[in-house]
Amino acid sequence: MSKVQIAFKVLMALKAPRLLDAYWGAERLTVLAYHRIADPTAPGFKYDPPVVSATPEKFALQMAYIREHFNVVDLEAVNAFLHHGRSLPPRPLLITFDDGYLDNYTHAYPVLKRHGFPAVIFLLTSRMDNPLPAWWDECAHYFHHTQRQAATLPLIGERDLSSPALRRAAREALVRQLKRIPEAEKLAALRQTGEALQVDPPGPDPDLFMTWDHVRELVSAGIACQPHTVNHPILARVDEETQRREIVGSCERIREETGQTISAFAYPNGGVGDYTATTMRLLQQADIRTAFTLLAGPVRPQVARQHPLEIPRVYLGGRDTVERFVFKVMGLPALMERPRFIGQAVV
Ligand SMILES: [Zn+2]
């Protein structure tokens, strides 16, 4: 057991989650941010493991914990709270998923249904039309299939690839660099990666993303499906016209396919510097009044109402142990991270 795991166990024994609960208060809004629900160690898993937030078993345990300690609310209730002064039950919690992976339907939805939990899935809408792996999964595909023992890669140079651990380290270093550069350069570097690793680009994979039929079924069962752009560029790395196309295009596709009202958005990557004041203005022009980042939540009610286009979330990862999950949802990371908002407060 690592030192961190031991520390969490000691803090649990000291009832630290209760102290966090008292610190944040029962009125705080907690929003969970999931991506994939899958087993990245399963044979044949060839995509990006860090995008997996939990295995189906872990997800079921996490939802059981949420049922005990929170009141799960839907997007409509959150919007009414943020924009119309309505109140929420104590310890309100919204469950969200980014990207629209098929496993949200196959693995998460049955668990949500069992508990009667609503949720929101933010869709990368081009993938419902054509299920090509997203850029991070494309990158993982090249590393998964390469026979090369070493290669000179864009952005990170000469790399030893002779073991799984070395391949993973190279892939993770490359993904970090790819997130920093303009979108067009990123896509070029991705193609060069495939060439350097001598692997063909991946084709569409029907097991990767939901179809519009899945989306419609979820919507009719109380799982809102809202926009997350068309192609998932980090919006701060593209020009204003591209940002507008990405936002409006994803809203329009969802409206056409589901007839839903579009009211919420999740920023691709969602960190500091991944969206700008221009992004927020474009969202408002598209009638989106609520948007979610990946900065650490929960958030106090008055802060949420002042910054409805920058609602922080609890980012969950596949390596979260039970203890770590508890501390995350009870707001330990948010306590340690200074709240940062780029937009003007709405008063
Ligand atoms: Zn995403």
Q: How big is the chain by its Cα radius of gyration, in Å?
A: 20
Amino acid at 287: D
Parallel/antiparallel/unpaired status of strands 36-37 and 52-54:
parallel
Q: Which two tokens stand for residue 257?
A: 């396919």
Q: Contact at 8 Å (CB) between 63 and 117?
A: yes
- Confidence (pLDDT) at 347: 56
Query: 51 C-alpha to center of ligand 1: Å?
Result: 9
At residue 175, the pLDDT reads 95
Q: Which tokens in the block code for residue 175?
A: 């993904």
Distance 196 CA to ligand 1 centre (A): 26
Centre of ligand 1 from the C-alpha of residue 41, in Å? 21
What pLDDT sits at residue 296? 95
Distance from the alpha carbon of residue 89 to the mean position of ligand 1, in angstroms:
29
Distance 266 CA to ligand 1 centre (A): 8
Tell me the CA end-to-end span of the chain in Å, nearest whole number: 48
pLDDT, tens digit only, all 347 positions of the chain: 777 778 777 777 777 888 999 999 999 999 999 999 999 999 889 899 999 999 999 999 999 999 999 999 999 999 999 999 999 999 999 999 999 999 999 999 999 999 999 999 999 999 999 999 999 999 999 999 999 999 999 999 999 999 999 999 999 999 999 999 988 899 999 999 999 999 999 999 999 999 999 999 999 999 999 999 999 999 999 999 999 999 999 999 999 999 999 999 999 999 989 999 999 999 999 999 999 999 999 999 999 999 999 999 999 999 999 999 999 999 999 988 877 888 877 65
Q: How far is the CA of 8 from the centre of ligand 1 (A)?
A: 29
Specify the 3-state DSSP secondary structure of 249: helix
Q: Say how many Å lie between the CA of residue 220 and the centre of ligand 1.
A: 23
Element (H, E) at 313: strand 311-315
Rounded to the nearest angstrom, the distance between the alpha carbon of 316 and the centre of ligand 1 is 13
Distance (Å) from CA 98 to ligand 1 centroid: 5
Q: Quick one: three-class SS letters along 102-146?
A: HHHHHHHHHHHHHHCCCEEEEECCHHHHCCCCCHHHHHHHHHHHC
Q: Are 135 and 177 in contact (CB under 8 A)?
A: no
The residues, any chain, with a CB within 8 Å of residue 230's CB and separated by 6 or more, are: 124, 125, 126, 245, 246, 249, 250, 253
What the block records as the tokens of 333 is: 């990371």
Kindly list the domain boundaries of the chain, sorted by start residue: 3-130+208-336, 135-197
Residue with tokens 């408002």: 284
Beta strands in 216-289 (DSSP E): 223-227, 264-266
Annotate 19-65 with DSSP letters as a single string: HHHHHH-TT-BEEEEE-EES-TTSTT--S-GGGEEE-HHHHHHHHHH
> 3-130+208-336, what's its fold?
TIM Barrel (3.20.20)
Ligand 1 centroid to residue 124 C-alpha, Å: 7
User: What is the pLDDT at residue 17?
Assistant: 86
The pTM is what?
Answer: 0.94
**In the structure encoding, which two tokens stand for residue 248, read together?**
């409006």
* Residue partners of 315: CB distance under 8 A and separation at least 6: 33, 294, 296, 328
CA distances from 237 to 145, 280, 306 (A): 29, 14, 26
> 325 in helix, strand or coil?
helix
Read off the tokens for 23: 């610190």
Encoding tokens for residue 278? Answer: 């221009």
| Single-letter amino acid code for the residue at 146 | T
Torsion of CA 162, 163, 169, 170, to 10 degrees: 30
